[in-house]
Amino acid sequence: MAGTGGLPLVLVGAQEFAAVYDGPARNTAQWIQRGVLGYEEAVIVSGRAYWSLGTAVAFGETTERKKTPNMDVVEQLVAEQAPGRSVEAALQLRAVGSLPIVGVQEILALTGEDPTKAKLITDAVNKGVFTAPDWRLSGSPLWLLPNALVGLDRMRERPKSRPLVVIPEVQKALEERTYDGPGSQILTGQGRTKERREELRKQAAEGAEG
């Protein structure tokens, strides 16, 4: 996790949300499908939902059969993301209205890059060129927007690197939480499959041109 003193918010994705109740990630999907868990208290980043840890812990009191959170898991999440912060303080924070958070899709949109070119960013992260993710949740990297902008600056400064110029309008939309571009909507399983087919189609077309 980036930054000394911890992150401003302890977040959970589908995997971590379910783990708070000692279950697999599919439990979160099932709660959403049954309508007992929604996205009102979530932030949507790169097509996935992320909730504050406080929302996840409070969820157990809202179900027909009350669920008891595993506080060992809760304490571990706080220690990983906000070391030194008390669990009580961490549970008071909510994702909605927090600082802007972005994933790979939003970073690509910031620079006008094709949303299927995730490898452009992930390779830069793996090589230590791009800023390390602030969070890695449910298998996905997330950044506070200012830290992502630093990462783009570092990529531009690297010799022979591909110039990635930030689009001011997209940055402003992300800062003001009015962004509605790639990654701003939840992708269903069908949507992800369609997106993958489109990615493969474009790769095949590029190969034919080459």
Q: What's the rounded Cα separation, in Å, for the pair 105 and 115?
A: 6
Residue-averaged pLDDT of the chain: 88
Structure confidence by residue, pLDDT tens digits, 45-94: 999 999 999 999 999 999 988 999 999 999 999 999 999 999 999 999 98
65, containing H or E segment:
none
Task: Return the percentage of the chain with pLDDT > 70, whole number.
Answer: 86
pLDDT for res 5: 52
Residue 201 banded pLDDT, cuts 50, 70, 90: low
Pairing of strands 101-102, 42-45: unpaired
3-class SS of residue 144: strand
What are the φ and ψ backbone dihedral angles of 48, each rounded to 5 degrees?
-125, 155
> CA 123, 15, 70, 134: dihedral to nearest 10 degrees?
30
